[in-house]
Amino acid sequence: MIKAKVHVFLKPSVLDPQGQTVTNSLHSLGYAKVVDTRISKYIELMFDSVDEQEVSAAVHSICDKLLANPNTEKYRFELEQVPST
């Protein structure tokens, strides 16, 4: 089995109001050195395959079609071989 660990995050040019709110909150907690916060999504996909090339192609396709919105988001992922349960 292969686990794909996918991160979907806003492009740097896109405002992140959630991140801004968290930064403000951290400031009020005393973490004055935090200057920016960006919130992203983390998605795990399990594949019944051991072929990393095949899985990598599938993850790219999945991200382009569904998991990420190309207008506002980018993605990256890593693959991890995991034993079948």
Residue 14 is a binding residue for other proteins (CB under 8 A):
yes
Site map (CB under 8 A) of other proteins, residues 52-71, x = contact: --------------xx-x-x
Tell me the window of 13-21, 28-36, 50-58, 76-84 that interacts with other proteins (CB under 8 A): 13-21
Q: Are 15 and 7 in contact (CB under 8 A)?
A: no
**Phi, psi (rounded to 5 degrees) for 81:** -75, 130
Strands, E, within the chain: which ranges? 2-10, 40-47, 73-81
Question: Nearest to residue 18, comparing CAs of 5, 31, 9, 29?
Answer: 9
Q: Is residue 40 a contact residue for other proteins (CB under 8 A)? A: no
List 12, 13, 35, 42, residue binding other proteins (CB under 8 A):
13
Which parts of this chain interact with other proteins (CB under 8 A)?
A: 13-15, 17-18, 21, 66-67, 69, 71-72
